[in-house]
Amino acid sequence: MTTWKERHDDAVARQEQAMRAYVAATADRARALQEGEAELGSQAAVGRELGVTRAIVNRAIKALDKKDPS
């Protein structure tokens, strides 16, 4: 049987792992959107293709640009 502290520490470790996976997936998504923009010619075209607004595409790409300005 584990103690409440061990269960807490395990949950914190799993939360941190999930956050790292979320951040990586978010960056991968933004890079894919950038590739779509290059292929289709505009963020609006990417949005139409995916059924989302241009603003959603733009926001995802800008968030990546802030983290990875390369």
Q: Can you give the residue ranges of every domain in the chain?
A: 4-67
Q: CA 49, CA 40: separation in Å to the nearest integer?
A: 9
Would you state the pLDDT for residue 60? Answer: 97
Q: CA 30, CA 54: separation in Å to the nearest integer?
A: 13
The count of other CB atoms within 10 Å of the CB of residue 36 is 19
Q: CA 52, CA 32: separation in Å to the nearest integer?
A: 15
Would you state the pLDDT for residue 69? Answer: 66
Q: CA 70, CA 40: separation in Å to the nearest integer?
A: 21
Contact 29, 63 (CB under 8 A): no
Question: How much is the mean pLDDT over the chain?
Answer: 95
